[in-house]
A = this chain, B = another copy of it.
Amino acid sequence: MSIRDDAQQMKLDAPAMAATSIDARNDALCHVREALVGHADEIFAANALDLAAAEKDDVAPQIVKRLRFDEHKLADVTAGIDQLIALPDPVGRVTLDRELDEGLELRRVTCPIGVIGVIFEARPDALVQISALCLKSGNCAILKGGRETANTNRVLFSLIHDAAVAAGLPDACLKQAKSHADIDELLACDREVDLLIPRGSNAFVRYIMDHTKIPVMGHSDGICHMYVDAAADPDQALCLILDAKTQYVAACNALETCLVDRAVAAGFLPRLAAACAEAGVTLHGDAEVGSYVPVEPLGEDGYRHEYLAMDMTVALVDGVDAACDHINRYGSHHTDAICTTDAAHADRFCQLVDSAGVYVNASTRFADGFRYGFGAEVGISTGKIHARGPVGLDGLVTYKYVLYGHGDIVGDYASGRRHFTHRDLI
């Protein structure tokens, strides 16, 4: 079967998947958890093959860490599945219920998106999380994981798929794409696939966005800012900056640029430089910043540079409006924070910054589905059409308008024989 055949079958089965009850979907998740726990040895054996191949290919240790699927990772993903089972059904929620006229009732009801293609990096736990989110939300999904974990993915996928089908879900609820060539075929399935969620490097996500007519949810860059306001508590600012910059430098929500109000530059920059030097973070900035503390030149993209390393841009701005302007101009609309004790400055920042996450006195690293309490995430979206920020169950459903009448016709309203009441029922 080609990916297009898979997608066509899935498109036909998607309404049946969407119509499954929450009990059936939760039951499937229970089966999935049992299958994973019951076949742990099989999964670990497949993973050992992937790890051995990675070692032979001299893959970097921090990458190997992502490939590993051990007892600890298994415990994490089963805990995630338990959390998902406990969450309410995202499907069938009535978000608008309005009487249009006596006996004519309009409801806006959430429903699954349909067929979702997810292309993700070589992380076996991501395969489990994404499958579980799609099953819980009643979506069909085509999964393509990184080839470095092909053996682990194959075993995990069979276990999850067979458990879901054994619990009564349609056979086409999950499919796996195995080869890299499948990706280009998937990108052409714009009649069958409702949404693509690519995860991985900026270049890869950009490639996907540029080569498909299917709507894409996700983000390429993660150029996150922390603005140190004149009214910031400097100790708190240093603590937030170090956490946001160093807690996990390769993450999209890690800090890349620190903006400092000129009014406090002379006092704050030397402290920032000392703390960063101690933590091993190299500062980059222009001549003005360099007049206070030693800096390297800006990255090749200037203020749009994403380091994903122990490097950070520092720039001076004149107050909160200028900070917001810098962030909107050079940022990536992902997650940006202000450090301040001035509530008016915080409000102004929250209003003016056009990003999926706008934080007050908190680290940008909180931008994550698990930390938001979504159980898991399929990704983080910087798009503004539908889901924005970490995408959990809510981001995997859309809605339809359901209208209940008793033979109601528009002609009666056009002629003035009847008039709308437009009364909200919830």
On chain A, which size bracket covers the interface? 35 or more
Q: Which residues from 362 to 386 on chain A have a C-beta closer than 8 Å to any C-beta of chain B? A: 362-363, 365-367, 371-373, 383-386
Q: Does A100 contact B (CB under 8 A)?
A: yes
Q: Does A59 contact B (CB under 8 A)?
A: no
Q: Does A399 contact B (CB under 8 A)?
A: yes
B405 touches A360 (CB 8 A): yes
A389 touches B409 (CB 8 A): no
Given contacts A217-B385, A243-B411, contact A354 B404 (CB under 8 A): no
Quote the shortest CB–CB distance from A239 to chain B (angstroms): 6
B385 touches A113 (CB 8 A): yes
Copies, count = 2
- Of the candidates A215, A248, A367, A402, the one having the most CB atoms from chain B within 10 angstroms of its own CB is A402
Chain B residues positioned under 8 Å from A108 (CB to CB): 389
Chain B residues positioned under 8 Å from A390 (CB to CB): 401
Q: A210's closest neighbor in chain B, by CB?
A: B213
Candidates B243, B358, B400; contact of A402 at CB < 8 Å = B358
Q: Does A282 contact B (CB under 8 A)?
A: no
Given contacts A18-B351, A19-B351, A351-B18, contact A233 B400 (CB under 8 A): no
Candidates B12, B14, B356; contact of A401 at CB < 8 Å = B356
A383 touches B352 (CB 8 A): no
Q: A108's closest neighbor in chain B, by CB?
A: B389
Q: Which residues from 287 to 322 on chain A have a C-beta closer than 8 Å to any C-beta of chain B? A: none
A384 touches B114 (CB 8 A): yes
A354 touches B18 (CB 8 A): yes
Cα A351 to Cα B401 in complex, Å, equals 11
Cα A106 to Cα B370 in complex, Å, equals 13
